Structure 1
């Protein structure tokens, strides 16, 4: 996992480093500016000086004779603007023609930014940034050093018109985005390359952030996480400890997936296949008696049981080897299904609730009240809005000031209310526990998996999580592992993916992990 920081957490990390005497604010600005220049030349090698870096500062030699490269650097009224003045100076030292614009009053710049403003002013002019200036910007690169994590409101400029045809570089994050939520506070200056420092910010993986950020490069500027930062949200990375030791099949659990009636069993069959592939020792699909033959014609390793109603389910659950249940995929939304959920929640087992089960929970407060800490809810946006309408309304309201209410905030609030783990699906899947523990499974940038937008993919995810809980993983960990593996299966298969392919791609993914 890697930490995802809020603006406040990043400020705390920087302040702790400066207060400790380990580094000065000016040194951090210099490192940040150099990191941006290095990233520009790495991302667009055709812009880099042909003879390579000089052995002493300035780091880059001037280009060969001819028209110089041209950069436009947009500086803001805070320390992000100070980073911009460093970038401008370093590009000029590399032989570039550089135009610098300032949004705000130079006399009101913070101390370190003011010092770098003065250093640049000894080399070149600083022009005011206005709408008229934006309309005539031209060059090879435009560098957005306007606000970074400090933005709290809409910027009164046509930022979405900046740099048409130019390579656009954001310092820390694109101006117009809320750092903590990834939501637009107004027009956004979308970037082709975003250079951030120390760690990614939440905006880089949430909401509109990935689309606006282009490619994100994280530059080490010599900071360390401190207690003052209280980092509490992380982006999921490759898991560990997924392998199976020697043992009997029931040492790895027995998952029970409940199915719908005739013609409605496909979703549950895919969930069952996912649970089996991810390593549950045994998987049984429970279905109405009339659907038994249909399911038997399509399942082999997955066992079958007739489950007519909640009374029969209670008898089935007398088998204490059954330790994880999945309800919802294709199940139906009638009184029988509501009674099945009641029986499942009262059984003391770990339970995954998806699809139709979430619809039933949203309609019945008493049923919702039976949720417990060993449950996982897996809603997509529509299901989330039905389950938690007030939370969804707050999340969907226009963002006008920062920090804006985020998907992290919404999922945490939902998990606390439900008393169980909530996995809020999307390209920016957020997983939260009632304790506040939270992680983001971001299928963005090099992990983008657009092929998951296909019918049944969520049913397979529910099966993955159920199988992992059957194996003994706790609900939060099972949800995190299942979500990460789900994306990796889609990426491994690639274009043309349908939901049935996901379980079949899993063995290769697990093998690559050494599981």
Structure 2
């Protein structure tokens, strides 16, 4: 599913108009889809349609007309004056002109007033994604009234009070149970804090050609398996462990090896054929005591680590590494190898005072996986200067020259050329110690098998989230490993490949 900006949607509408499709036709399709969704979700109860003066209001007028034809008990209100409506909005309003009442009636007492009731369905068609100012006056009062009511709310495009491109919102924005948008997602539907008040988002087709979006939009998508599943690699009857890649994970000091052990086990679960934990001699006993299929190898200095790491297909470094000068030296040495590597946590923070030095070392086979705090340390002010988190991650990837995974409830995976995927698949139970270390190991595990950095990162972030949904409440990072085989088996079976060592049957007749 593509993610677009407000202006790109305006441009798509214009291009369709140039090709002969009228704005009124698009508005009719949008309003009809809204009406059908309301009928599907809430087939009974009064329906209150609140329209604004723009195209969102036009969609609302159309939805009113269709729901009236369906026999619903329906009521129509306008924020503003009918004589100020223009173009297609004016045309849509003219068809229901006699039914339009001023929105101020929702705020009145007595016989002139209209009171919301429990079970009502409110269609919020006041302001759309193009809003760029705070709510005020009677619109502010109406928003507060709706939020304090027990009515069900569906918003058209985005809830009134939400800014479509930034994912920000005013404090009194209408809180929707559902949102219907058209053709593609907008930033506000998936980036916090706005995403939390959109409710269930429904994307409806209204007749805009996909080729139009291909012409005007960047490659920014919701992170879903249809993007990356075809890039995953699987063993066949000729595979052996060395063909499946060698993953090396560099551990922290003795007493701080848990993060590296989590990463190593996760990489092994993703299919890396041989996984080795590198550590200083004092750390080896505690690692060896807790790992069976993962090997350990000691090194005495950075030069020896460099020599040992040359044998690896991919690397992980940073979790619990320590924010020290030695960590800086290790990062510099490992990046000189030019092999795929995931840098996380301390391997990023250690460059807080001189991020440009790190950027000079990074290469296209790298993936860096900062959370917001780490991101701001090495990309100071980028978030503040960017319109939204997606653009911040894209700017950072271009600056770093590698894939950036900006972690959070709305993780953004961005590549240097501008491609980006946004992941909202997962649960809040991932907010637990070690979950980021697991993710780092997963990404490098796929890269060890030859999967490209963007696809490895996109797949790992989604699979990480899927495991968290499988685990649910009480999840700890070690639990994630137990859910991966079942999840990966599903993807393997859906890939259409067959492993003949599993499936070959021999029949012997007497």
1:195-274 superposed matches below 5 A? 195-225=180-210, 226=212, 227-238=214-225, 239-246=229-236, 247-274=239-266
Structure 1 residue 209: Cα displacement: 2.6
Structure 1 residue 506: Cα displacement: 0.8
Choose 154-163 or 204-213, whichever is displaced more.
154-163
Q: Match of 2:38, SS?
A: helix
Could you say which residue in structure 1 is the equivalent of 2:41?
Answer: 43
**Gaps spanning 5+ residues in structure 2: where?**
494-510
| Alignment RMSD (CA, Å) | 2.0
Q: Match of 1:478, SS?
A: helix
Inter-CA distance 143–126: structure 2 relative to 1 (3 Å threshold) = same
Contact 1:309 1:340 in 2 (8 A): no
Could you say which residue in structure 2 is the equivalent of 1:61?
Answer: none
Structure 1 residue 223: Cα displacement: 2.2
Contact 1:32 1:83 in 2 (8 A): yes
Structure 1 residue 204: Cα displacement: 0.7
Q: Match of 1:144, SS?
A: strand
Distance in 1 separating the partners of 2:86 and 2:422: 34
Structure 1 residue 137: Cα displacement: 4.5
Q: Match of 1:497, SS?
A: coil
Inter-CA distance 318–459: structure 2 relative to 1 (3 Å threshold) = closer
Structure 1 residue 248: Cα displacement: 2.8
Inter-CA distance 460–130: structure 2 relative to 1 (3 Å threshold) = farther
Structure 1 residue 370: Cα displacement: 1.6
Distance in 1 separating the partners of 2:83 and 2:257: 69
Structure 1 residue 349: Cα displacement: 1.3
Contact 2:233 2:449 in 1 (8 A): no
1:388-399 superposed matches below 5 A? 388-394=379-385
1:322-361 superposed matches below 5 A? 322-361=312-351
Could you say which residue in structure 1 is the equivalent of 2:94?
Answer: 118
Q: 2:169 aligns with which of 177, 180, 184?
A: 184
Q: Deviations over 1:451-491 (max 9, x none)?
A: 11111000000000111111111211111111111111111
Structure 1 residue 186: Cα displacement: 5.1
**Gaps spanning 5+ residues in structure 1: where?**
48-68, 396-404
Contact 1:142 1:169 in 2 (8 A): yes
Distance in 1 separating the partners of 2:373 and 2:145: 33
Q: Match of 2:361, SS?
A: coil
Choose 322-331 or 131-140, whichever is displaced more.
131-140
Could you say which residue in structure 1 is the equivalent of 2:370?
Answer: 379
The answer to whether structure 1 residue 85 and structure 2 residue 61 are counterparts is yes
Could you say which residue in structure 2 is the equivalent of 1:308?
Answer: 300
Distance in 1 separating the partners of 2:135 and 2:295: 60
Inter-CA distance 236–323: structure 2 relative to 1 (3 Å threshold) = same
Distance in 2 separating the partners of 1:3 and 1:129: 38
The answer to whether structure 1 residue 493 and structure 2 residue 461 are counterparts is no
Inter-CA distance 368–361: structure 2 relative to 1 (3 Å threshold) = farther
TM-score (norm 1): 0.88
Q: 1:99 aligns with which of 75, 85, 92?
A: 75
Q: Deviations over 1:28-81 (max 9, x none)?
A: 222211211211122224x1xxxxxxxxxxxxxxxxxxxxx4222111111110
Q: Deviations over 1:210-229 (max 9, x none)?
A: 21111111222222221443
Distance in 2 separating the partners of 1:141 and 1:317: 62
Inter-CA distance 267–130: structure 2 relative to 1 (3 Å threshold) = farther
Inter-CA distance 231–160: structure 2 relative to 1 (3 Å threshold) = farther
Q: How many residues align?
A: 475
TM-score (norm 2): 0.89
1:466-485 superposed matches below 5 A? 466-485=444-463
Q: Match of 2:489, SS?
A: helix
Distance in 1 separating the partners of 2:300 and 2:169: 50
Choose 265-274 or 407-416, whichever is displaced more.
407-416
Contact 1:235 1:439 in 2 (8 A): yes
Could you say which residue in structure 1 is the equivalent of 2:134?
Answer: 154
Structure 1 residue 368: Cα displacement: 4.2
Contact 2:253 2:321 in 1 (8 A): yes
Distance in 1 separating the partners of 2:375 and 2:231: 31
Contact 2:467 2:483 in 1 (8 A): yes
Distance in 2 separating the partners of 1:42 and 1:96: 13
Could you say which residue in structure 2 is the equivalent of 1:167?
Answer: 152
Structure 1 residue 416: Cα displacement: 1.4
Q: Match of 1:514, SS?
A: helix
Could you say which residue in structure 2 is the equivalent of 1:20?
Answer: 19
Structure 1 residue 241: Cα displacement: 3.9
Contact 1:74 1:129 in 2 (8 A): no
More helix by share: 2
Choose 172-181 or 452-461, whichever is displaced more.
172-181
Inter-CA distance 437–241: structure 2 relative to 1 (3 Å threshold) = closer
Inter-CA distance 474–241: structure 2 relative to 1 (3 Å threshold) = closer
